[in-house]
Structure 1
Amino acid sequence: MATPTDPPGTTPSTHSVAGTVARVSATTDAVQLLDDVPLTEAETEYVEAARAANTLRGYRSDWTEFTTWCVQHDRDPLPAAASTITGYLSDLAKAGAKVGTMSRRLSALKFVHQLQDLPDPTSNARVVAVWEGIRRTHGAPPDQATPLMPPELFDVLAACPTTRIWKTKNRAPEPDLAGHRDRALLLVGFVGALRRSELAALQVEHVDEHPNGLVLTLPRSKTNQHGTEAELVVLPRSGNPDRCPVTALRAWLELAQITTGPVFQGVTKGNKATGRSLHPESINTLVQHAIGRAGIDPLPYSAHSLRAGFITYAHLRGATDRAIAHQSRHRSLTTLGGYVRIHNAWTDNAATSLGL
């Protein structure tokens, strides 16, 4: 029977596991895992570090969605029977959910069961068979962000405001910090082929001088989550200062008086750096707003458009896949090829010479 603190219509396991997942992402509460012995503060920190914050947030959302489905269908979510998972997946597939979304839901279910020291229900033969059928039936290439590259990139850079004009009397115009930050973020994100999470995590201490420009040291990344070997990204100087990532980054840091801590920070209404790093989702919004200022429809674009733009543009300029991967840090050249497949389709293709 549900305890008095359980939400109406939930089972005890639904409530307790949702609480467990929630507490794993907290920074102060001790959590109970496996043997029901509360973790120490130090152990809790390491448990939290085992998964990226964004991953934990996703798992929490996925588990909540799954338990809601279980309540609606009178199923027990923990431990989840194979028929429960296959019924859930089938409903998702029929409702038009993407294969990638369903794959993450499965990862969340596996993770929660591991937290409770329960067998992995996603490895059951029935689940595996149904999941394989869903993938074959509904599988599709993942959505790709529209690349942001020249000449559109130049238009977006030119539209970034450089001067802040105040309505307050007697306050002289000032350099527009948000505009300078956006210019630096766009150029560093494009030339560095950086992910939005990497832009958000970049620290001043990660930026080193080099005779040819700057070198960024990324302690961790999507493909290097354990930080076993830092990844290096170069920012070469450009002959045009208006398009130079080194010039833009230095200008932003100097104007914002940032000498340590997060490189890309929020800007207050009073035109001051907040001292706090931007959230990855905020970077996505900033990129779209910058594109919109240039009169370009921002809907097809995202922060990932900077990374996709670098890869596509470098390919069009004749760079080899290995040279591109050196900067983008792709471990698979097959994955890299997915970014430029549309442009490759027109290369050396007899359909373009039919003369019709």
Structure 2
Amino acid sequence: MITSLSLPHLALADQEALADLFRRGTPGNTARAWERDLAYITAWKLAAFGQPLSWPEDEGVALRFILDHADDLTETHSPARDTAAALVAQGLRRSLACPAPATLDRRVASWRAFHRMKNLASPFDAPLVAQARSRARRAAARPPAPKSDHPITRPVLEDMLDSCDDSRRGRRDRAALMLGWASGGRRRSEIVALNHDDLDLREWAAKGLIRIRLLTTKTTGADVAPRLPLKGRAARAVLDWLSTACIEEGPVFRPVSQADRVLDRRLTPEGLARIVRHPLHIAGYPPGFASAHGLRAGFLTQAALDGAPLQAAMRLSLHRSAAQAQRYYADVELADNPAANLLG
């Protein structure tokens, strides 16, 4: 997506070098989000104004973008509805309903980032536009929807593990689920990004401990890559998978063919999502019971149920915001809170 920064005051070679620096220094998930947002923004302006994007963009266009995404357009008849309908037809927008404030915030943030890449002032920084954006966020405020319908707490995880057989696929699934849960509730992207050399086995013989290096997460980069502990059953499951699959280098988690043959390529985030869905189905849970994010939600929910201090859980989950992590603790039924049993 970052192919050229279009900075006329720089030599072409410098522009190319700067674009390459942006590509190498931008996390993959961020780059993919930028690509989707650029496609949406470009299509929106073409549908709304019949014109391509301008750099810098006009403040009136930025204001119209916010206004078009501040209302439910289902029952209205307006140019904004016509524009939204065109985007729905192109598969770029799900419906005519008002988008979530977080979706608008992300697209605005991407548009601002594109201006920064070109060393241009963003129209979204204009006082009137910024005020309109703030009011739109408040007007469309809604309770945050959970990323997983249910947390995968310890009992649910045990049911999932019981459904994993001793085939290569079953051993892989067992290792991925246990590592993802026990190392702090890892995200899909973090689990599938692991390579063999990210697993430090030097303390295994003496302490039964594997240290996992996470080169890139949503809150950390390679310069401060955390090293998280993995112990007990989870560590043994990972070692069993590595031995069974004869993995000594490269990706830790890989696809397994229908013939139960381990492939060389890296498992995708969607492949990890299937690893979560399939054991839930085999264990008898209803469709859609939990997503891969349920591993993360389940770890924190179980930590709350077990009385683990929030800060201790956050050291493993790597949440930057205590308020965000606290939501999982707040979701625990008050009667199940260990503090309710202090007198016995």
TM-score, normalisation: structure 1:
0.78
Which residue of structure 1 lines up, in the alignment, with residue 63 of structure 2?
86
Counterparts of 1:69-80 in structure 2 under 5 Å? 69-74=44-49, 77-78=53-54, 79-80=56-57
2:197 partner amino acid: E
More strand by proportion, 1 or 2? 1
Is 1:48–2:50 an aligned residue pair? no
1:222 partner amino acid: K
1:34 partner amino acid: L
Query: What's the offset of the Cα at 1:289?
Result: 2.4
- Structure 1 318/58 Cα, relative in aligned 2: closer, same or farther at 3 Å? same
Count of residue pairs the alignment pairs up: 301
Is 1:229–2:224 an aligned residue pair? yes
Query: What's the offset of the Cα at 1:298?
Result: 4.0
Which residue of structure 2 lines up, in the alignment, with residue 19 of structure 1?
none
Query: What's the offset of the Cα at 1:326?
Result: 1.8
- Structure 1 269/43 Cα, relative in aligned 2: closer, same or farther at 3 Å? farther
- Contact 1:177/1:252 (CA < 8 Å) preserved in 2? yes
Is 1:188–2:164 an aligned residue pair? no
**SS where residue 255 of structure 2 aligns?**
strand
Is 1:219–2:215 an aligned residue pair? yes
State the distance in 1 between where 2:67 and 2:120 align.
23
- Contact 2:70/2:139 (CA < 8 Å) preserved in 1? no
- Contact 1:31/1:38 (CA < 8 Å) preserved in 2? no
State the distance in 2 between where 1:300 and 1:322 align.
28
Query: What's the offset of the Cα at 1:332?
Result: 2.6
State the distance in 1 between where 2:16 and 2:216 align.
24
- Structure 1 208/110 Cα, relative in aligned 2: closer, same or farther at 3 Å? same
Structure 1: give runs of 5+ residues left out of the alignment. Answer: 1-21, 25-29, 163-175, 238-243, 349-356
CA RMSD of aligned residues (A): 2.1
State the distance in 1 between where 2:273 and 2:66 align.
30
Counterparts of 1:139-288 in structure 2 under 5 Å? 139-144=141-146, 145=148, 146-162=150-166, 176-192=167-183, 193-209=185-201, 210=203, 211-225=207-221, 227-237=222-232, 244-288=233-277
State the distance in 1 between where 2:62 and 2:152 align.
40
- % identity of equivalent residues: 29
**SS where residue 228 of structure 1 aligns?**
helix
State the distance in 1 between where 2:172 and 2:223 align.
31
Is 1:65–2:40 an aligned residue pair? yes
Counterparts of 1:330-345 in structure 2 under 5 Å? 330-343=319-332, 345=334
State the distance in 1 between where 2:273 and 2:61 align.
36
- Structure 1 212/107 Cα, relative in aligned 2: closer, same or farther at 3 Å? same
Query: What's the offset of the Cα at 1:32?
Result: 4.7
- For residues 85-138 of structure 1, give each alpha carbon's deviation from its aligned partner in whole angstroms, at most 9, with x where no partner exists: 222222223232011111110111112222333211221112211111111111
Counterparts of 1:300-311 in structure 2 under 5 Å? 300-311=289-300
- Contact 1:32/1:38 (CA < 8 Å) preserved in 2? no
Which residue of structure 2 lines up, in the alignment, with residue 326 of structure 1?
315
State the distance in 2 between where 1:182 and 1:224 align.
26
- Contact 2:192/2:266 (CA < 8 Å) preserved in 1? yes
- Structure 1 275/106 Cα, relative in aligned 2: closer, same or farther at 3 Å? same
- For residues 322-343 of structure 1, give each alpha carbon's deviation from its aligned partner in whole angstroms, at most 9, with x where no partner exists: 2111211223322210122221
- Contact 1:177/1:256 (CA < 8 Å) preserved in 2? yes
- Contact 1:212/1:236 (CA < 8 Å) preserved in 2? yes
Moved more, 102-111 or 44-53: 44-53
Query: What's the offset of the Cα at 1:315?
Result: 1.2
1:183 partner amino acid: R
**SS where residue 248 of structure 2 aligns?**
coil
State the distance in 2 between where 1:282 and 1:91 align.
36
**SS where residue 265 of structure 2 aligns?**
strand
Query: What's the offset of the Cα at 1:42?
Result: 6.0
Query: What's the offset of the Cα at 1:43?
Result: 4.9
TM-score, normalisation: structure 2:
0.81
Moved more, 299-308 or 180-189: 299-308
Q: Which has the higher contact order (CA 8 A, sep 6+)?
A: 2
State the distance in 2 between where 1:69 and 1:180 align.
47
